[in-house]
Amino acid sequence: MKYTVFGKIGLRVSQVALGTGNFGTGWGYGADPDAAEAVFNAYAEAGGNFIDTADAYQFGQSEELLGKLLQGRREDFVLATKFSNGAAPNANRLVTGNSRKALVASVEASLKRLKTDRIDIYWAHHPDSVTPLEEIVRGFEDLARAGKILYAGLSNFPAWRLARAVTLAELTHAVPIAAAQFEHSLVRREPEADLFPASLALGLGIVTWSPLGGGMLTGKYRQGEKGRAEGFGGRVFQPENSAQRTRILDTVLAIAGELGVSAGQVAIAWAGSHGAVPIIGPRSLPQLSDNLGALTVELTAEQLNRLDAASSLVTSAPPRAVIPWAADRARVVA
C-alpha cells in the first residue's frame, strides 16, 4: 500500500479507504462480526490506515464493530465517521439533521460506540436544507475545542456550500473544513465539473465513494447476481439503464481483458487517478482482495482516454491532458 498526502492538514493516508457500511446486518444485508473482522484485519495487514463509517451504517452496528476492532491499535488508523441521519431506524427528529443539538448528541453517541475519546475526521453526512452553514462551522469548532474531533469535513454537499463553509471557517478562525466527500465513478462523473476543481482550489482532502457504481462496474449484474441491486433496497446502486452505461461497462470489460485483471479493479484504478482517495466497501474477503488488486493496476494514457471518452458527460470527451484538474493528482509517498 502506498500513501498520499491528504489535503493540507499533514495526514498521510492509504491510497484507498475502507468503507464499513457493510459492517453489520442491521439493514438486512451486510457482514456478520466474524466476516467484518476478517475484512478489517486483511485491510490493515495490507497497509490500509483510513477507516470511513457513519452513525447510520447498519443502525450503529458498524461503529460498534469498529469500536471492538480498534482496541489496542486505535493510533494506527485515521478514523472518520458521520452524523446527520441518526443510528436508529426511526431516529428522533432532534438527533437528525445538522443542528447543534443533533451534532452534539451524535458525536457523544458515536464516541461511545467507537470506544474512543476522539474522532479524527467528523463529517456532516449531507445538507439538511435547514441548518445554516454558520451553525455547522461553529458546531465543529466547539467539538474541536472540546477535543472530541480533530478535523471537520462535508460529505455530499454541493460545491457552492462547500466553498462557503470553508470561507466561513477561515474568516471566523474556526477549525478548518479539511475535506470533502462525494460520489464519483465512471457512471457518476458530474463532480468533475465543480466539486473536484473547488476542492483542489481550496486545498481539501478528497474522498470519493461508490467507485464501482454500487457494483455495476464489476459486470456481475450481467451474470444474474443481485448484490446491491436489491441488498440495500436498490439504494447506492447505479443500474445499467442506458446505451452510454452499456458502452462504459463494455469498455471497462475490454480493458480488464487486455490487462488480465477484473473489471472492478479497472474501475477503482480509474477512480484513483483523479487525486482522490476512493472508498472501497467490501462485504467479504474475496471482495476486499479484488478491490485491493486495483492498487497494482496501471492504466495507460490510451486506456484512460478510452474510459474518459466512453463515460464523458459531453458528446466528445477532451483528451485527458487538457482536463483542468488532470495534472493535480494526489501526491503519493512511500
By annotation, the residues acting in catalysis are 57
Backbone angles phi, psi at 93, to 5 degrees: -60, -20
Report the C-alpha gap between 80 and 312 in whole angstroms: 31
* Other beta carbons within 10 Å of 293: 15
Closest CA to 232 of 38, 56, 18: 56
* Distances from the Cα of 152 to the Cα of 11, 15, 70, angstroms: 13, 20, 21
DSSP assignment of 310-329: HH-SSSSPPPGGGSTTTT--
| Nine cell digits for residue 99 | 443542528
Strand pairing partners for 206? 180
CA distance 97 to 128: 5
Alpha helix locations (H) across the chain? 33-45, 61-69, 100-114, 133-145, 159-171, 195-201, 228-231, 243-259, 263-271, 285-292, 301-311
How far apart (Å, rounded) are the C-alpha atoms in residues 245 and 243?
A: 6
| Angle of CA points 321, 323, 326, to nearest 5° | 70
